Amino acid sequence: MASTVLAITVGNDTTKISEVMYSSHRIVRVSYSNTIPTPKDCVEDGQIRDPKELATAIREELRKGEIITKDVIFAIQSNKIISKEIVAPYMKEARLMEYIVTNATEYFPVNIDEYVFTYSILENIIDVSEKKYRLMVMAAPMGIVERYYDVADMLELRVLDLDYVGNSTLQLMRLQIDDSPTLSIQMGDEATIISIFNKNVLQLMRSVPYGRSTVANAIAEKRDISYEEALTVLDNERVLKESFSDGDYITGSLKYLANNISRVIDYYSTKNPDVTIQKAVMVTEGKSIRALETLLSYEIGLKIKKIDELNQVIADDRLNMSLSELTGYLSNIGCVIQPVNFVPKSALIKAKKTNDNKYLRLIIMGAVFVAAVIVLIPLVANISKRTENNGLKSNIKKIEGIKTVVNDYYLSKDKFTDISTFYALASNADDDLHKFIEFLEEDMPSDIGLTSFSVSGGAVTMNCTGSSKETLAQFLVTLKKQSNISSVNCASVSEATDDNDAITDSYTITCVFSQFPTQTEEGDE
């Protein structure tokens, strides 16, 4: 991705907006980042309850920041997105989505019609000389995905990708580590993602519902203050002890997080006894919690290194923010690297309809232009000869009796006759081409698209695409009902399926049209 895009992550309490660019040199440049409050009760676990109110808040922030970028990538933050690692047989990547959707019920106990699926290729593996894919398959509720497209429409933005926060941070963390077996801990406001990498390839990932808000809520309860005041305390005071043995209430709020990290390590070690985790890194979205690394290092028995500045990330000169502060925008930065893309069926249908209408308009405009040229060339020649003939007649009257002038007159008259005869012979059914096109505009079904159109002497050849054989049959019946259209034929229909499982029919329709009745003739009938 070489162009500048908007990156937006919507949370229950805050919405993070960035303007970023990812270059071919694997460098992410951030030119704008800011966090705004998510309107109250507008979002719940990734589900946008009020798209209009959220769009209004984002629009106001873009106005204040003087942001004019029109392409956007959203990173969805929701526990309702489910993922599963699978091993799939080797095939062309274009067929992977079809394979995943076909077998989706084996991966997820859900109604597949209510979910949108996507995937990420983790690695290619060779098992007993057989090549396979190791994939991370993800499923998101259709309702969650569609609301993000609604917000983009209200903002007049074009959705390039709809990523998942887990994938966004995964892609960014891969730029922060080497090939050693590494434990990665990414703490967000509402959840923490625990990952294990080996040779810079994801081996295991778990998301647990404990983040900065877990500690903030404990502070608020212990000190009987508001959540906002607790966040201020968390940012400015050391509230954690070095171990859980001290019995401190606030420190104890992270015990479940430490236990989950230990379970992930134990599970991976059991499955991979020959691999030892050599490093551990941790990054916190926003300000780091003081002594957090010390506490978790003691509890899991592995020294954790805190990441204060992100590798491969550059702050633009226009950005009034330090590199350490950019750790608060992990998903916004990571979503431009290699996003997965949740695309609802409604977006696919809208894109296809837009393209079909565009091609139809171009074909019709081209046909009308050709018809105009065919008619105008002999007409202009005819007018020119008429003018010449009239001039000669005038000269004859003025100098009557001059033989040379008379001979010139008859010669011009002969030329005029030849042109008139040619014009008469040149007239054919193609003169009514514009009426035939008007008939197509009124009676051809909207989901049939023209890919090419040719006509000669009233004989028409139309190459078309469509998504319904019933619509094709209906259109053929309509053509045959026209008294001035004959020889209607559709020899064969070929069917093709694209990467997104959409079926497209291709076929050629031929027919012959004669002169269309005039309005007077139609009235007489």
Would you list the DSSP string of 105-117? HHH-SS-GGGEEE
Neighbours of 176 (CB within 10 A): 18
Among all chains, which residue has been given the structure tokens 């091609």?
359
User: What pLDDT, on the 0 to 100 scale, is given for residue 416?
Assistant: 77
Say yes or no to pLDDT of 239 above 90: yes
What global pTM score does this model have?
0.64
Report yes or no: 187 and 350 within 8 Å, Cβ to Cβ: no
Domain of residue 286, CATH code:
3.30.420.40
Q: What is the chain's length?
A: 525
Give the separation between CA 326 and CA 18, rounded to whole angstroms: 10
Say yes or no to pLDDT of 25 above 90: no
pLDDT mean over 58-81: 95
Report yes or no: 12 and 190 within 8 Å, Cβ to Cβ: yes
The sign of the dihedral angle between the CA atoms of 241, 244, 246, 250 is positive
pLDDT mean over 486-510: 87
Report yes or no: 274 and 283 within 8 Å, Cβ to Cβ: no
The sign of the dihedral angle between the CA atoms of 464, 466, 472, 475 is negative
Domain endpoint, select from 287, 306, 325:
306
Residues 6+ apart with CB under 8 A from 275: 181, 198, 268, 269
In a domain, 117, yes or no: no
Whether residue 296 sits in one domain with residue 226 = yes
Structural domains of the chain, count: 3
pLDDT mean over 21-31: 89
Give the separation between CA 184 and CA 278, rounded to whole angstroms: 11
* Residues in a beta bridge with 87: 134
* 286 vs 114, more confident: 114
Q: How many CA atoms lie within 13 A of 382 on its CB side?
A: 11
User: What pLDDT, on the 0 to 100 scale, is given for residue 427?
Assistant: 64
Tokens of 215: 């500690």
User: What pLDDT, on the 0 to 100 scale, is given for residue 360?
Assistant: 47
In a domain, 427, yes or no: no
User: What pLDDT, on the 0 to 100 scale, is given for residue 323?
Assistant: 87
Among all chains, which residue has been given the structure tokens 């490093």?
279
Say yes or no to pLDDT of 438 above 80: yes
pLDDT mean over 163-188: 94
In a domain, 248, yes or no: yes
Tell me, what DSSP letter sits at residue 156?
T
Say yes or no to pLDDT of 294 above 90: yes
Give the separation between CA 254 and CA 228, rounded to whole angstroms: 19
* 3-class state of residue 410 by DSSP: helix
Residue 468's pLDDT band (cuts 50, 70, 90): confident
* 216 vs 320, more confident: 216
Say yes or no to pLDDT of 354 above 60: no
pLDDT over 90, % of the chain: 61
Give the separation between CA 267 and CA 273, rounded to whole angstroms: 10
Give the separation between CA 144 and CA 76, rounded to whole angstroms: 9
Q: Where is average pLDDT lowest: 158-167, 259-268, 373-382?
A: 373-382
Identify residue 336 by its one-letter amino acid code: V
Give the separation between CA 336 and CA 26, rounded to whole angstroms: 10
Whether residue 273 sits in one domain with residue 223 = yes
* 3-class state of residue 81 by DSSP: coil
- The mean of the pLDDT values for the chain is 87
Whether residue 221 sits in one domain with residue 189 = yes
Whether residue 482 sits in one domain with residue 403 = no
Residue 411, domain extent: 366-420
Whether residue 287 sits in one domain with residue 196 = yes
Whether residue 234 sits in one domain with residue 208 = yes
Q: What share of the chain is helix, strand, coil (3-state, %, to 5)?
A: 45, 30, 30
Say yes or no to pLDDT of 380 above 80: no
Q: How far is CA 18 from the centre of its chain?
A: 18
Predicted confidence (pLDDT) per residue in 113-136, tens digit: 999 999 999 999 887 778 999 999
In a domain, 297, yes or no: yes
